[in-house]
Amino acid sequence: MDNHLHAVGGAEAVLNFEPKSSMSVAYHPDFGSHDELLLLELDEKLLPDVLCERVSLRGDPDEEAVLCTKSKTYAVKFVGTSNSVFLIPPSKSSPLADSLMDCDKEETDQPASASVLKVAPGNLELVEVAPRLDKLQFFLAQNPYTLEEASEMEMTSDIKDSVLGLYTWDDLVGRIQASDVELRLGLEALDAVEIKGCWRLLDAKYMDSILTMLLHNAVLNDWPLNALPENELVNTLESDGFQPIVAGHCLRAYGTKIDNGSDAGSLW
């Protein structure tokens, strides 16, 4: 005769199932399609990120979602199976769990049992893909930062609520299908700069005016173009009406740091 497991219900019974043992399998009272429950097959290296909730699904409603870790992007693919895959909830969710224990909380000799909540038609798989950054330039190009706007912003501290086509970091994270690391690299590649909480592209004419003033100040102050003093240059451009963050961005976009800096600042 087959050996019997002591009364253990739910998924635990399956996990602890021994050879030559028997188990009863039945439909759970809540058996159904349960579309909200999906199986996800993971590479072992991704398991800590998923269990610690360090992943997110990203994309607009009309796009196929991608799953992102801190540094990588994965396409989510559904793979069907011809085999029957039973989803069995833990014993706390099993209607048979309590009935398999007597009043003294002692185990009985009844065989193990499991209640099937759903038959899964397949599972989701993750495939590493390149970040989908096509929309990033489109979003940022909607409202480039101009000289006229720079003058107007001197009069206000926040224009996010009154101007369309502006995107904060959180806005971009929610709509661009890329990990945080890949998104920042994409912003750097576009020479985008964060101004008062929103990521912006600088208008070409505005950038030309900054470079023209930079060269003018370099000549006026006798600064060598291969060793521009950052602090002095930024302060001078600020006195000319350019925000320090924009002046610093100009150096990073068109220059190369040649000295890590001292109290006087870095050289570019």
CA–CA gap between residue 150 and residue 202 (Å, rounded): 10
Task: Report which DSSP code applies to 107.
Answer: B
Query: Which pLDDT score, from 0 to 100, does residue 4 have?
Result: 40
Helices (H) then strands (E): counts for the chain: 9, 12
The region, left, alpha or beta by phi > 0 then psi within -120 to 50, assigned to residue 34 is left
Query: Which pLDDT score, from 0 to 100, does residue 67 have?
Result: 94
Nearest Cα to Cα of residue 135 among 197, 206, 66, 195: 66
Residue ranges, the chain, pLDDT below 50: 1-7, 93-108, 161-162
Query: Which pLDDT score, from 0 to 100, does residue 73 have?
Result: 96
Query: Which pLDDT score, from 0 to 100, does residue 97 have?
Result: 46
Query: Which pLDDT score, from 0 to 100, does residue 103 have?
Result: 40
CA–CA gap between residue 2 and residue 84 (Å, rounded): 25
Establish how many alpha carbons lie within 13 A of residue 51's alpha carbon, considering only the half-sphere containing its beta carbon. 7
What's the Cα-to-Cα distance from 236 to each of 24, 100, 212, 241, rounded to whole Å? 81, 81, 13, 9
**DSSP for 211-236?**
HHHHHHHHHHTT--TTS-BHHHHHHH
Query: Which pLDDT score, from 0 to 100, does residue 182 have?
Result: 97
